[in-house]
Structure 1
Amino acid sequence: MRMVDVISRKRDGLEHTPEEIAYIVQGIVDGSIPDYQLAAWCMAVYFQGMTPREARDMAVRMAATGDQVDLSPLPGVKIDKHSTGGVGDKTSLVVAPLVAAAGIPVCKMSGRGLGHTGGTIDKLESIPGFRTELTLDELFAQVKKIGVGLVGQTGNLVPADKRLYALRDVTGTVASIPLIATSIMSKKLAGGADGFVLDVKVGDGAFLKTKEEAEKLAELMVAIGKNADRKTVAVLSNMDQPLGKAVGNALEVREAIATLRGEGPADLEELSLVLGAQMLVLAGAEKEVAVAKAKLQALLDSGDGLRAFGRWIEGQGGDPRIVDDPERLPLAAHVVGVKSPRSGYVAKWATETLGLISMRLGAGRARKEDPIDHSVGLVIEKKLGDWVEAGEEIAKVYARTAAEAENGAAEVLAAVQLAPTPPPKKPLVIGYII
C-alpha cells in the first residue's frame, strides 16, 4: 500500500477501506508517513469528508495507539459527559456530584483549557489541595467509595491524535468536521466509558458558530459512538453568551457551589439538569428524561448534590470547607466594576472575546505550557435581553494588577452591544441528536 494512492482515493471522494485506515493510523504513530503526505490527506478529508464507518474505524484505531482505560472493575454502567468547549462552561462541576448522588458512578478523564475555553481540570485545581493526578487504582477506589472521581488525561492517551492535531493546526484543517469528531471520540473511547453524553456548543463563544456545523459534528460523533457499541447522545446548547455569569477558574467553582445550593444562575442549573438527566437515562437508572431530570432536581433541592461535591473534593485531597465557605477559594486582589455609559437592552455579547479577555488576565493559556492564575477572571452581570441603566454595572473584572483590571474593563465594555429593543430570545437547548 502506498500513501499517495490512499491520498488520491480520498481526493476523488472514495471511501477508505478499514485496511487503509489502519495503514494511515500506523503511519501516524510510527512516523512512516511523512508530514507532507499527512497534510495532503488532511486537506483531502477537509474537502471530501468521511463516512460514519470511516470515522468509527479512525477513532477506534487511534484510541488503540496509547493507553486505554478499563472501567470494568467499577460497578454499574459508566457514562461520560463531554463538552466541545465554551465560555464559562462549568457544568461538569455540577453534573458530576448530582449524578453520583443519584447512584450512578462518575469516573472521568478531563482536559485543560486552551484559548478562549476553560478546562475542568484547571477549575478543580483552584480548590486548595485538590489533586488531579491519581493512579487508576486510587481513582477506582475513590469512585467505589464516594461515587465520583475525575483526573487529567494521561500523557499517552491517543498519541496518534497529538501528532495529527499538531499537523492540522499548521495546515488549515483544524475545522474539518470528521477530524474534529475522530479526535474527540478517540479520546472518549480510550477513556473506557460505556456511553457518552456530548454537549455540542453552538454560537459566538463556541468553536462551531452555526447550528448546521454543530449538527454535522454531533451527528458524526453520535454515529462513531454507536458504531463502536457505546450508548451516545448529543445535546446542542447555546453559547452566544457565557454559561452562567462567571468566567475564570475559582470564580466558576464559586458559581458551581452556588448552583448546587440552588442559588446559581438559571441557565447553568437548567443545562446541568438536562445533561445529567441524559446520563441517568443512558445508564439505565431511569427510562424517561423528564423523570430523570426531576430526580436530579430533587437531589439539588435536598442538598445531596452539594454534599456529594464536598465528598468529592475531600476524596481528592482538596479542602471541603470551601463548600460552606467559598471565600477560601483564591480571589484576585484587584476588582473593577464595568459600568454602562448608556441605557439599553443587552443585544449581543462578543462571547469568544470575553473568553480571550479572561485568558489574557491569566485565567487561561494561549499555549499548552502557559501557567494560569486561578484567582482572575470575569463575572458578567447582565445576560442577553436584560435592561441596563446608564451607569449600571454590567460586569466585574478580577485581575492581578490595577492596570490589568482597568484594561480588562475597557475590553469588556467594547464586547457588549446595547440596543433600544431586546434581541430575539434563543433557547438554551437547541436540539438533540439521538
Structure 2
Amino acid sequence: MGREGLEKQGMSYERLARIERFLDENYVGTGTLAGTVTQVWRRGELALNSVLGFADRERQTRMAEDSIFRIYSMTKPITSVAIMMLVEECKIALDDPVSKYIPSWEKLGVYAGGFMESFQTRASARPMRVVDLLRHTSGLTYGFQSNTNVDAAYRKLKVGELTTAGTLDEMIEKLATLPLEFSPGEAWNYSVSTDVLGYLVGKVSGMAFEDFLKARIFDPLGMVDTAFYVPQEKVSRFCACYAIGALGSKLVSEKGPTLQDDPQTSPYREPPSFVSGGGGLVSTAADYMRFSRMLLRGGELDGVRLLGPKTVELMTANHLPGGVDLPRLSRSMFTEAAYEGVGFGLGFATTIAPASTLIPGSAGDFFWGGAASTFFWADPREDMIVLFLTQLLPSTAYPIRRQLRTLVYSAITACGT
C-alpha cells in the first residue's frame, strides 16, 4: 500500500517500513530467526504484509505468505471460541461443574504432599467449573513447567504431550488419577485446561472435536489451511521448526538455533492420535488473520457469524478472581504474557492497565502466542490486528513480542477507529 493509502488508515509509511527493517537487521538477517511473516490489519485493510527469510533453511525454501506454521498455543483461542459457541446454544454453561461432563473428576483432590505413587490430598474448596478451564484457574498444570511433584507426574504419564500423549480420552482418564495443584479459582496456572475444553466440545456437541472445528469454524470462515496435520499436497509449504537453548527455559544457546522438526519427517505429516485443543493446530497468516478479524468484528466475518458481540465482549474481559492481573495470581513457571497490567479472559490475555505494562497498547486489547514464538493481538479501540508468525522454540528466547508492540503502535499517526 502506498503512502497516501496508509495515511487514510492512520499509519506512517516510514514507521511501518522500519518494522521489516528491524526484523531483518536484528533477527532474520543475523540467522536468529529463519524467517517471518508479519501482518498489520487496520481500519479494514492490510497496512503491512512483510515476508522475510526462509521457511526451511536447510533446503533454502523461501518463506512465503502462504507458508504453514505450527501455531501451538495460538490453538487455544480457537478452542475457546468453539466452547463459547456451545455456551451460546445453551448446551453447556460457564458455571457448570466440569464433573457434570467428566464424572470421574467429581472428587479430585488438591495436592497436600508426597510423590506420584503416594500422593496425599485434601478436599478442594469448590468444584472446578467450565470457566476455570477457559481462564486457567482450574488447578491443572503442564508437565514441562518442572515446578512441582504434580508436574513430574504429568511428565511421567506424558499428560498433554503432543506426540506421546495417547488419545484425548486417555488424557482425561490419567488426569482423574492425579491431584490438582490448588483449589479451582485460587490461582492462575498455564495448563492442559484447553485440551480438556476440546474434550468437552466433543462430548457436548456429539461430534469429534476436530470435526467440530472444521465444520463450525474453519470451513465457514474459509480457513482452508488450518488443521491438526499437514497433508502431503501441502508439505512443500510447511515450515521447518528450530530451537535454541533448552525448551521451556530462558537460556539461549551460544550455538544458535538448530533444527527441531524437519517438515519432511515431522509428526505433523499424519493425523495425530492426541487431538490437542491447547496446542495442536497448524495454520497460515491468511487463515489466522480471518479468525482474528472475526473476533475484532464481534464474532462475524463476511456474513458468517460464529458468536454474538456480547459473547466476544465477555470473552475479552478480565475474568481473574478479584480483577487482579496475571503476575498477582500466577503460580506458573511459564506464560505467553509475562508483564504487569495484563488480565486473562476466556481464552486469551487482555490488557487491563496499559500504563502498568510499560509498553504501548490499549485497554481491552487481547492477545496470545505460541511456543514457537508466534503471536497475535487485536485492538478494538484502534481497529487493528497484528499477526507475527515464525518457528523458533522457546518463545521466551527473545523479547520480540514486546518489540513488535512498540514498533507497531509507534507507527500509528491517528488514534482511534
**TM-score, length-scaled by structure 1:** 0.27
**Which structure has the highest helix share of the two?**
1
Select the structure of larger CA radius of gyration. Answer: 1
